[in-house]
Chains A and B, each alone.
Chain A
Amino acid sequence: MNGLEHELRALAPLVEWPEEPDVAAVVAVRIAAPRERRRPSVRVGVALAVIVLALAVALAVPPARTAIFDWLGIGSARIELVDELPALPLTAPVELLGEPTTLADARRRAGFPIAPPPRSEPAPDEIRVVDGRRVSYLWRDGDRIRLLVTQVPGLLQRTEVLKKLIPPSVRIERLTIDGDGAVFLAGGPHAVFLLGPSGSFEEDHGWLAGRTLLVDRGSSTLRIEGDLDRDQAVDLVRAMTMT
Chain B
Amino acid sequence: MHQAIAFRVAFVAAGDRGDAEEAVQDGFVKAHRALGRFREGAPFRPWLLRIVANEAHNRRRSAGRRAGLALRAAVAASGDAAPSPEAAALSHERRDELLAALATLEERDREVLVDRFLLDLGEEETAAALGVRRGTVKSRTSRALERIRAALGEEDGS
Contacts and interface: CB of A to CB of B under 8 A. Distances in A.
B124 to A, nearest CB: 12
A7 B94 contact: yes
B102 to A, nearest CB: 8
A66 B3 CA distance: 13
Interface string A65-83: 0000101111000000000
B127 interface: no
B1 A14 contact: no
Contacts of A24: 3
Interface residues on B, range: 35 or more
Given A26-B25, A27-B29, A12 B117 contact: yes
B4 to A, nearest CB: 5
A5 B79 contact: no
A71 B148 CA distance: 40
Contacts of A26: 25
A72 B32 contact: yes
Contacts of A225: none
B28 A11 contact: no
Contacts, number: 130
B148 A4 contact: yes
Contacts of B154: 4
Q: Which of A4, A6, A26, A27 has the most CB of B within 10 A?
A: A4
Interface string B113-156: 10001111000000000000000000000000100110010100
A159 B77 contact: no
Nearest to B120: A12
Contacts of B71: 15-17
A71 to B, nearest CB: 7
B31 interface: yes
Contact of B24 (A13, A23, A31, A159): A23
B3 A10 contact: no
B62 interface: no
Contacts of B21: 21, 23
A199 interface: yes
Nearest to B113: A8
Contacts of B90: 7, 10-11, 14
A22 interface: yes
A69 B25 CA distance: 11
B47 to A, nearest CB: 9
Contacts of B2: 72-73
Interface string A7-49: 1111111111110111110110011000100000000000000
Given A72-B32, A216-B1, A13 B25 contact: no
Contacts of B40: 158-160, 199
A11 B7 contact: no
B32 A71 contact: yes
Interface in B54-76: 71-74
Interface string B70-106: 0111100111010110110110001100110000000
Interface string B17-52: 100110011001101110100101111110010000
B86 to A, nearest CB: 4
Contacts of B20: 18
Interface of A: 2-18, 20-24, 26-27, 30-31, 35, 69, 71-74, 155-156, 158-160, 181, 199, 216
12 contacts: A3-B158, A10-B87, A13-B77, A14-B73, A14-B77, A15-B99, A18-B17, A20-B3, A24-B3, A71-B35, A72-B31, A155-B45
Given A11-B87, A13-B83, A18-B20, 12 more contacts: A5-B117, A9-B120, A11-B117, A12-B87, A12-B119, A14-B87, A14-B95, A15-B118, A17-B11, A17-B71, A73-B1, A199-B40
